[in-house]
Amino acid sequence: MNALDMPQLLALAAAIGWASGVRLYLVVLLTGLAGYFGWVPLPGGLQMLAHPVVIAASGFMVFIEFFADKIPGLDSLWDVVHTAIRIPAGAALAASVFGADHGAMAVVAALLGGGFAATAHAAKATTRAAINTSPEPFSNVGASLVEDSMVPAGLWLAVAHPLVFLVLFVLVLVLSVWLIRKSWRFLKALFSRVARIFSGRPDPGVTPAFQLKKNPPGDTPNV
């Protein structure tokens, strides 16, 4: 099996970095299985993922995450806990695509991979938090299943059709930034409204039922 060429390596590094921000354990499992069964000639830095112990451990975590990510509330807690895990892991895995033989490329891959992981994680976490404000669980499960399918599809496309992947990847990054901004604005407005309710201040969007009418000095106030 021929080694991956440079476009494939670039696409794979981007895919692994981004996907780690969404499903880190699934990335490790799929990459390890691809190397173990010889589906993809893994670069030297990623070959350790094909070890049976790594495959077993990542498979167990994929099983746990599959269910945890579909329970409203628990999914957001899971995202908070993994903020400190997904981003550095995405940077490390992206750098491992190039390894010590391409030191400069490995550094660049680590920086970009960490950035891609952070963007994906932020988009996932803020969007899920916004979805969790809905009382029905179906939107949450649907979003989780979409993420489950995007990760293997992205990894496959990066190796099979790297140029197509890179074009689509740019669009995904733009969409991620848009989701972060939109979800953050929604959550900020929601938190402000809740804080206003608990503080006893009226909602600016609702006119109070009773309001004192201002009168000139010396007059008796009217309701």
Q: Which residues contact 44 (CB under 8 A, 6 or more apart)?
A: 99, 101
Alpha-carbon gap, residue 89 to 21, rounded angstroms: 9
| Mean pLDDT over the full length of the chain | 87
C-alpha angle 111/116/118, rounded to 5°?
95
Q: Give per-residue pLDDT as tens, 149-189.
A: 999 999 999 999 999 999 999 999 999 999 999 888 877 77
pTM of the model: 0.83
- Token pair belonging to 73: 């509330």
**In percent, how much of the chain has pLDDT > 70?**
84
- What distances in angstroms separate CA 91 from CA 10, 106, 127, 180, 197, one per listed residue? 13, 10, 22, 20, 42
Which residue type, as a one-letter code, is found at position 56? Answer: A
C-alpha angle 192/193/199, rounded to 5°?
90
The pLDDT of residue 201 is 60
Is the distance from CB of 30 to CB of 151 less than 8 angstroms?
Answer: yes
Q: With cut-offs at 50, 70 and 90, classify the pLDDT of residue 130.
A: confident
Q: Give per-residue pLDDT as tens, 16-60.
A: 999 999 999 999 999 999 999 999 999 989 999 999 999 999 999
Question: Does the pLDDT at position 200 exceed 50?
Answer: yes
Backbone angles phi and psi of 217, in degrees to 5: -55, 135
Q: Which residues contact 113 (CB under 8 A, 6 or more apart)?
A: 13, 14, 16, 17, 20, 90, 91, 92, 93, 94, 95
Residue 42 is given by DSSP the state -
Alpha-carbon gap, residue 74 to 65, rounded angstroms: 10
Alpha-carbon gap, residue 99 to 76, rounded angstroms: 33
- What distances in angstroms separate CA 193 from CA 16, 183, 188, 200, 202, one per listed residue? 38, 15, 9, 11, 9
The pLDDT of residue 208 is 39
Q: With cut-offs at 50, 70 and 90, classify the pLDDT of residue 212.
A: very low
Region 68-85: mean pLDDT is: 93
